[in-house]
Structure 1
Amino acid sequence: MITRIESTQNPRVKQWKKLQTKKERNKTGLFLIEGLHLIEEALKYKAYVKELIVREGTEYSLLDARDIDIFEVTEDIMNTISDTETPQGIAAVCGMKGPTPINIATAKLLLIDNVQDPGNLGTMIRTADAVGMDAVILGEGCVDLYNGKVIRSTQGSLFHIPIMDGNLDVWIKRLNVIGVPVFGTALEGARNFKEIEPHKHFALLVGNEGNGVDPKLLKLTDENLYIPIYGQAESLNVSIATGILLYHLRG
């Protein structure tokens, strides 16, 4: 069924607009995605997609949107609900993913501590997906997973890999008990990552853009690793460093 909405004062439009805030997303369990590619990825997992929002004149007939409520809206409405400068003309309301059971004894995990840049977090999730990691655990201080820029930076990987909030202290101690190696990232007291052999099962702990991983967490790891800098740069971007280490440890 297609419903046309023409007023920015429509209650449904106001609700869509509120989904730009973390408070409303957490309250409703819903979030907004924008752009054809993201929506195509979301529709592969239809249970997540609740509503499709299409700007008048935007082609969407090739999308498999059966049994989903479709709303045709004006350009003003699309501009109102979008958090991008140039809306692509199509958006969707999705439900948040529930908890996913993980066998941590045989898992490859990315643990993220206090990463605050949305682009970095989204890229790290996308990289973890590409590497074939089993889950991403977001520790205290991380930017909201359902922030619009995070979602766009994942390029759809948000829907492919389990991602959950968690107490990293607790997670690392659980991994310690069952013998899954946990590798931290640090500049001091660390080994060159090239000295470490690939592992079938492991966890990589990465941290904040400016301060790195919380020292208390680094004390719980099996090994802390660093990536050599051969040029004049002071450090690597955390998402780039994460990619290098994940691919090395994955083997």
Structure 2
Amino acid sequence: MLIESKQNKRVKNWRKLHKKKYRDQEGLFLIEGWHLIEEAMKSDWMIDELIVLEGIEYPESWDSYNLTFVTKPVFNEIAQTESQQGVLAVVKQQIHGEQKLGQKLLLVDTVQDPGNVGTIIRSALAFNADAVILGQGSVDLYNDKVVRATQGGLFHVPVINGGDLSQWITHCHTHNINIYATALDDQAMPLQDVEPNGTYAIIVGNEGEGVDSGLINEANETVYIPIAHESESLNVGVATSIVLYHFSQAT
């Protein structure tokens, strides 16, 4: 099937997926480009539909999916990247139950920059975290810039979108998971003094304000990354990567 009109109802519905309200309502989101689509196909996420620019060559295996072809003007209406590759997919959102999330958790408190959240998810995958919980006030997981920044990582590590971090802290205390909040207070331990034991809940915070004081009070320990005095404070994505690497070194 070839869609040629930007006024087509399906085209309008795809465009609506750029808005969080509609994504949440439909339980769907868009991904763009070969790499993200390939990563989705390698995972257990369900691809609802593939959208291909007419004339683009694609793998024969794609014929087993719900496949729709569109003209260049229609593709331009849907796509959001400047260097378009001519392929898009509509993917069903996933909901993860806490019983499957393991004992190596990363709690993200109101981190609002899409690039930072994407980096955090990639690092969680790289350093074997069991799950990421994006707290209320953080940027939406299915924001197109977040999705691109994860480089496909969101398809391979469970992410709770918009979770109540106080409830997750209760979950951690109930399951004897030590909670470490990143902070720059006088009581915080240097990261290298923390001995990883294979289980943890790490809380990282907002770009400007850090972790909420109420969450810090619920943590077992606060930790910080020693840096040279001449340096600015670390970007939250970079800092999270360093902390996750340290905790991945449990013997």
TM range (shorter): over 0.9
- Going from structure 1 to structure 2, the CA distance change for 1:157 and 1:214 (only over 3 Å counts) comes to same
- Going from structure 1 to structure 2, the CA distance change for 1:115 and 1:47 (only over 3 Å counts) comes to closer
**1:128-187: per-residue Cα shift (whole Å, max 9, x none)?**
011111111111100000000100111111111111132111211221233211100001
How many percent identity over aligned positions? Answer: 49
Tell whether the 8 Å contact from 2:29 to 2:91 is kept in structure 1 after alignment: yes
1:174 to 171, 178, 187: 171
Question: What is the number of equivalent residue pairs in this alignment?
Answer: 247
Matched residues in 2 for 1:58 and 1:26: separation? 31
**TM-score, normalised on structure 2?**
0.94
Tell whether the 8 Å contact from 2:45 to 2:94 is kept in structure 1 after alignment: no
Check if 1:71 corresponds to 2:68.
yes
**1:225-246: per-residue Cα shift (whole Å, max 9, x none)?**
1111215222000010001001
Instruction: Map 1:1-251 onto structure 2 (within 5 A).
Output: 3-45=1-43, 47-61=45-59, 64-102=61-99, 107-164=103-160, 165-188=162-185, 189-251=187-249
**1:41-97: per-residue Cα shift (whole Å, max 9, x none)?**
1112365101101112222125x3243111111111111111222322110000001
Question: Aligned AA for 2:150?
Answer: T
Tell whether the 8 Å contact from 1:43 to 1:65 is kept in structure 2 after alignment: no
Matched residues in 2 for 1:17 and 1:71: separation? 15
- Going from structure 1 to structure 2, the CA distance change for 1:46 and 1:250 (only over 3 Å counts) comes to closer
How far residue 28 of structure 1 moved from its aligned partner, in angstroms, is: 0.4
Question: Aligned AA for 1:238?
Answer: V
Most deviating of 42-51 and 189-198: 42-51
3-state DSSP of counterpart to 1:225:
strand
3-state DSSP of counterpart to 1:45:
coil
Matched residues in 2 for 1:103 and 1:94: separation? 22
Segments of 4+ moved more than 4 angstroms: none
**1:89-132: per-residue Cα shift (whole Å, max 9, x none)?**
1100000012234356x510000000000010011001101111
Tell whether the 8 Å contact from 2:181 to 2:216 is kept in structure 1 after alignment: yes
Question: Aligned AA for 2:7?
Answer: Q
Matched residues in 2 for 1:128 and 1:223: separation? 20
3-state DSSP of counterpart to 2:90:
strand
The runs of 5 or more residues in structure 2 that have no matched partner are none
Matched residues in 1 for 2:153 and 2:237: separation? 15
**TM-score, normalised on structure 1?**
0.94
Matched residues in 2 for 1:215 and 1:27: separation? 33
